[in-house]
Amino acid sequence: MLQPIIQNTYLVEVNLPTVTQGQNYPFLDNPNLRYPKIFLHGMESLIDVQLSKSPNQSDIVTASGAAGIVLTLSVKDTEEVFQIPYLSLCTTVNAGLIREFANKQINLTKSYITVFDVTNLVAGQSAAFNFYYKIA
Amino acid sequence: MQKKPLQNIDISKIVKSKTVYVNIFAGRIGLAQINYKYFFDSDSDLDNSLIVGCEFNRGYINGSDLGNFAPGQDFDPIGNLNAIEYIKADMAAFTVSLVDVENRAFFDKMPLTCLYYGNNGRHPKRMNNRIRMDKCYIQAFAPFNMPGTCDGNQIKYMAQFTFHYIPYVKRNR
C-alpha cells in the first residue's frame, strides 16, 4: 500500500506538567500551523522508542503510558476527530501506516489530548505528533 | 505557479537513488551537542532535484552487527571502514529537517526513526519537493554517545540517508 505524498511535516509536542485523570491538555499556538493556514492530511503520534526527547528536552511518553491518552482535533469550533486513541496514530504499532485525514483545516489551539489513565505517565513528559499538512 | 502533485509514484520504480551522509565529528564543535545542527553537504545530484522518497539507513557498524535486520536491508557503499560508525542505537535521539529550494523546511524535525525503512513496516516516506541539500540538517534533542574512538580529528560518526529522486534538468530556453 502506498503511503501519502508528504508536502510538509511539523513536530508538535504537548507537555504534561502534571498528570491527572480526565484532564485535557491543549496544543499551544504554533504560527506554522495556525488556523486556517493548513490542511491536515495525515498524522502520526510518537513514543519514546521513536524520539527519546522532545525539542524542549522533555521525555516522550512510553507506549504503555500512551495507551491512556486520546486525541481530539477541532475544525473551526467543531471537534471533528473526537478522542481517537494515541496509539492508533502511532506508526510503530500500526505497521508503519500513517493515519490519513480528509484535508482537515484544523484549529490547533482548540485541539487537545486527554488523559484517561495515568498509569505509566509521569509529570513532565510530553506527547509528540508529526503533522502532515498542506498549506492552504 | 502551483506545483502539480505527482500521484501514485511507486518509489521502487524510481531509477535515481543516492545515499548521502551527514558527518558528526567532534573536531568541529569539541563535543557532541544537543540541539546542534549537523548540516548535510551540498550535493550536485540532489540539489534542485525532485525528491520523491527518503529513507534513513542505520548502516553497518564496522561491517557487522545488523541486529534483527538481514543483510541487504541496510547497506554501506563505503565498505567496512573501521574509522566510520553510523548512528544506530542513538537514532531515537535525532531528528532531521529537510529544506526546499524556497528555503522552507518541508520536513521539520522529523524523527529519524520515522524515516527508518526497517522500522515502519517497509513503508518509506514519500514526498514531492525540490530539495536544497546544504540547508538540511540533523539535530539531536537527547544525549547521544559518540563512538569511543573519536579523537576530534577524524570523521567518525555518520548518519546515512538514501534519497529517491527525479533529477533536475536545466532547460535551455
- In B, minimum Cα distance to A48 occurs at B92
In tens, the pLDDT along A36-55 reads 889 999 999 999 999 999 99
For A93, the 3-state DSSP assignment is: helix
User: Above 80 in pLDDT, residue A123?
Assistant: yes
pLDDT attached to residue B68 = 32
pLDDT attached to residue B9 = 53
Which grid cell is B21? 551522509
Closest CA to B65 of B88, B82, B81: B88
- Mark the ranges of chain B whose per-residue pLDDT is less than 50: 1-2, 5, 27-30, 60-82, 149-155
pTM: 0.82
B61 and A CB contact within 8 Å: no
Residues of A at the B interface, defined by Cβ within 8 angstroms: 1-11, 32, 44, 46, 48-55, 57, 91-92, 94-98, 130
B120 and A CB contact within 8 Å: yes
Nearest to B92 among A8, A10, A49 (CB): A49
pLDDT attached to residue A95 = 83
Phi, psi (deg, nearest 5) at residue B100: -90, 180
Higher pLDDT, A101 or B33: A101
User: Above 90 in pLDDT, residue A66?
Assistant: yes
Q: How far is B153 from chain A (nearest CA, A)?
A: 29
Which grid cell is A75? 475544525
- In B, minimum Cα distance to A59 occurs at B142
Q: Which of A38-52, A84-98, A101-115, B113-127 has the lowest mean pLDDT?
A: B113-127
User: Above 90 in pLDDT, residue A107?
Assistant: yes
What is the ipTM score, two decimals? 0.86
Say which residues have a Cβ less than 8 Å from residue B161's Cβ, sequence separation at least 6: B19, B20, B21, B22, B54, B55, B56, B57, B96, B115
pLDDT attached to residue B64 = 39
> Using a CB-CB distance cutoff of 8 angstroms, which residues of chain B are in contact with residue A95?
121, 123
In this prediction, residues A67-87 reach a mean pLDDT of 93
Query: For testing the chain B interface, which of A9, A15, A61, A125 should be mutated: the one with the most B CBs within 10 Å?
Result: A9
pLDDT attached to residue A84 = 94
pLDDT attached to residue B118 = 66
Query: For testing the chain A interface, which of B3, B55, B91, B108 should be mutated: the one with the most A CBs within 10 Å?
Result: B108
| Average pLDDT across chain A, whole number | 92
